Structure 1
Amino acid sequence: MPNSSIKNWAVDDRPREKLLLKGYHALSNAELLAILINNGTKDKSAVDVAKALLISVSNDLQKLGKLSVKEILKLKVKGIGEAKAITIAAALELGQRRDVAEKKLDIVIRSRDIAEYLKAQLQYKKHEVFAVVYLNRANKIKHSEIVSEGGMAGTVADPRIIVRKALENDATSIILCHNHPSGSLKPSRTDEELTRRINEAAAYFDIKVLDHIIVSEYGYYSFADEGLL
C-alpha cells in the first residue's frame, strides 16, 4: 500500500496546500488536526486518524481541548502516539491562550466583557475553581487570581482571604467568578450563600461586590444581571 504521509497525497487532498491556497477557514477540523498529525498509519491517512480522534470525543473540540496527553493516549486511537498527542495538546493549549489574550481587558464596563474574559480562562478547567478580580474606583483591573480550587463538585472560597487580598491591592470593588465543570449555569444554594457572605464581609471595609459570574463552556451567568446583587 502506498505511504500515507501527507506529502504523497494528490495536491488537492493535502491539507497544508489547501490551507495555503484557500486559507485555514476552508479546512475542516479533521484536516487541521491532520496537519498536526502529519502522517497516518499503514491503513489510514492522517485525515482518517484525525477523524477517528474527533469521533472518540464526540466531535467536540472543547472536550478534546480539556484532555491531557495521557488522556488523549487513553482514547487508544490508532495512529496517535505520545509525540502526536503532545503536539495536539500543545496546539489546543495555544488556541486557548490566544482566546484568553484576545478577551483580556483593563477596564470593566459591562458584565459581559469580564464574563467573556473569565469564561476564556476557566471554561476548560476539569475541576471547580474560584477566581476574584480586584478593581479600583475607575473599574480598572488591579489584580486577578484564582483563590481556591476544588473538585468536580465544588470549591470553598474563604471570604477573609478575598477581603484581605482586596485590601492588599487597594481594591474598592471586586468581581467573583467560578466555573461549573458540569456545564450547568444555574447557581446553587451554596453559590448564593457564599456570595451573600462575601458581600457582607466586603461591605465592612467599603468594598463593593460588583458581580458573581458563573462560567462554563456553554456561556455565563451573572448575579448582577439577574438582580441577585
Structure 2
Amino acid sequence: MSIKFLAEDDRPREKFLSKGKNSLSDSELLAIIMGSGSREETAVELARRILTSVNNNWSQLSLLSVKDLMKFKGIGEVKAISISTALEIGRRKAGQEIPEKSSISKSNDAYLILKNHLSDLRTEEFWAIFLNQSNKVIHLSKLTQGGINQSIVDARVLFKTALDHFSTGIIIAHNHPSGNLNPSREDLDITQKIKEAGKTLNIQLLDHLIITQNSYYSFADEGVL
C-alpha cells in the first residue's frame, strides 16, 4: 500500500484529535473502525461504498452479518467483526440510555424502551417490562429467543420473574423480523393465557407489543387485550 493511501487512512484519526469526534462524517467514523482500506481504496472510500449500499443508514448496516460484510471487496473477517462489534456496542448503549425507573403511561413509552432491543433482530425474542404500582419500570428482561418465525414464552418463567421483583404489572413484547405487524393466532392465544394467569396472581398484563424495525402494534391500543 502506498504512502498516499496510508496518509489517507490516517486523516480521520487526525481530524478526530484536532477537531473532535463530532466533526467526523459517518464514512470517517466507519473508516476508523475498520482501520485501513485496500490496495484500490482508502479506508474512507471503502467506508463510503459500504454505507452507500445501505442508504447511509446505521440500522440497515447493523442487519448485515459478518458474511454479508465480507462480500465487500476489502473487507476480511477481522474488519467485518470489528464493524459488527462496534454496531452492537452502539445498540447496547442506546438501550442503557433509558432510565431504569422511567414511568410508563402509554404504549409508546414501552416501545421507546424496547425498540433498541428488538427492532433490528433477525430472529424472534420475547421480552417483558415489570412495573410497580406506580407504573414505574423496576425490571426489564429477555425471556426467550427463538427462530425466524416464533419465540414461545413459558408463562411460569414470566410470572416467577414478576414475583421475584414484586411486580404488580407487566408489559410483554416480541418482534416480528418479517416486518408484519399483524398478531398471529399464537400471539393472541399466549396473550390471553398470560392475562388470565395474571388475574390469579393479581399481576395485571397491561399490554403486549409486536415490534418491527420501524413500528409497533399494541394489543391494548387495538382493544384486543
Give the structure-2-normalised TM-score: 0.85
| Cα offset, 1:160, TM superposition | 3.0
| Cα offset, 1:209, TM superposition | 0.5
The alignment-based identity, stated in percent, is: 42
Give structure 1 stretches of 5+ with no counterpart.
none
Structure 2 residue identity aligned to 1:141: V
Structure 1 residue identity aligned to 2:5: S
RMSD after superposition: 2.6
Question: What secondary structure does 2:3 align onto?
Answer: coil
Identify which of 92, 95, 100 aligns with 2:90: 95
Q: Which moved more, 1:210-219 or 1:138-147?
A: 138-147
| Cα offset, 1:23, TM superposition | 5.5
Separation of aligned partners in 1, 2:22 and 2:179: 28
Separation of aligned partners in 1, 2:99 and 2:53: 32
Question: Does 1:128 pair with 2:124?
Answer: yes
Partner of 2:76: 81
Change (3 A) 1:228 1:22: farther
CA contact (8 A) 2:124 2:150 kept: yes
Structure 2 residue identity aligned to 1:222: S
Separation of aligned partners in 1, 2:50 and 2:8: 22
User: How big is each residue's C-alpha offset from its partner over 1:105-163, in whole Å with a ceiling of 9 and x where there is no partner?
Assistant: 31323332221111111222221011112222122333222222211111112223322
Question: Does 1:116 pair with 2:121?
Answer: no
Identify which of 146, 171, 174 aligns with 1:175: 171
Change (3 A) 1:165 1:80: same
Identify which of 214, 218, 225 aligns with 2:221: 225
Change (3 A) 1:164 1:98: closer
Give structure 2 stretches of 5+ with no counterpart.
none
Separation of aligned partners in 2, 1:172 and 1:203: 11
CA contact (8 A) 2:100 2:139 kept: no
CA contact (8 A) 2:129 2:170 kept: yes
Change (3 A) 1:107 1:47: closer
User: How big is each residue's C-alpha offset from its partner over 1:140-188, in whole Å with a ceiling of 9 and x where there is no partner?
Assistant: 3332222222111111122233223322332111110101112232322
Question: What secondary structure does 1:214 align onto?
Answer: strand
Separation of aligned partners in 1, 2:80 and 2:52: 16
Count of equivalent residues: 224
Q: Which moved more, 1:89-98 or 1:99-108?
A: 99-108
Structure 2 residue identity aligned to 1:82: E
Separation of aligned partners in 2, 1:93 and 1:228: 34
Partner of 2:49: 52
| Cα offset, 1:36, TM superposition | 1.9
Structure 2 residue identity aligned to 1:105: E
Partner of 2:3: 3
Q: Which moved more, 1:85-94 or 1:23-32?
A: 23-32
Separation of aligned partners in 1, 2:152 and 2:8: 55
